[in-house]
Structures are given as structure tokens and as C-alpha cells.
Structure 1
């Protein structure tokens, strides 16, 4: 698995988790979705992605 694949899988998982938590626990969990979306947007412009750095330290190979 490459870093790019891991980041997109992690982002997708976090969005789905946030939707489930928003539905079953509290509507305030929607802010997790907002955070994930904002992080994806800023990383597309700046190239800075904390999740990618963590996955690189875990030994995943670059794409």
C-alpha cells in the first residue's frame, strides 16, 4: 500500500465514522467531517499532510 492510498482510505474511514457518530451520538460530530475536508483541501494546495507524514514514518512507500 502506498502513502497516497493509505491517506485516502484513512480520510474515507474518518468521514464515514463521523457520519455514523453524527447520526447515532451527537450532531456535533459533523465537525470531524468538516475538519477532514478542510485538511484534504489545504493539503491539496500546500502539500502538507500530517497523515502522510505519519504513514511515511510507519514505513509505507511513496506513490
Structure 2
């Protein structure tokens, strides 16, 4: 899985989780949903997100290295 795919999966998971927590635990969790959305928006323009460094560190491949053989 690439960093980009992992980032999308992580964002989708966090959005669904925070919506569930906002519905069943406390409405304050909707702020986390907004935070994830804001990060997605800024990453669309900057092509960088803090989670990308974490995903690279745990072994996700860069998009540029897909298809290369080492």
C-alpha cells in the first residue's frame, strides 16, 4: 500500500470514528471530524500531511517508488 492510499484509508477511518463518537458519546467529537477535513483540504494544495511522515516511518511506500524493483 502506498502512502497516499494509507492516508486516505486513515482519514476515512478517523472521519467515520469521530462521527460515531459524536453521535453516541459527545458532540464535541465533531470538532475532530472538522480537523480531519481541514487537514485533507490543506494537503490537497500542499501535497503534505503530518500523517504522511508516520506512514512512511512504519513502512508504507512512496507513490514515486511504486513499480520500481530494488
TM-score scaled by structure 2? 0.85
Aligned to 1:37: 37
Aligned to 1:61: 61
Distance 1:56 1:28 in 2: 30
Whose Rg is larger?
2
- Structure 1 gap segments, 5+ residues each: none
Aligned to 2:67: none
Q: Stretches of 4+ moved more than 2 A in 1?
A: none
| CA shift digits 1:15-40 (9 cap, x unpaired) | 00001000100111000000000000
Aligned to 1:12: 12
Distance 2:50 2:32 in 1: 16
TM-score scaled by structure 1? 0.94
- Structure 2 gap segments, 5+ residues each: 64-70
What is the aligned-residue RMSD (CA, Å)?
0.7
How far is 1:57 from its partner?
A: 1.1
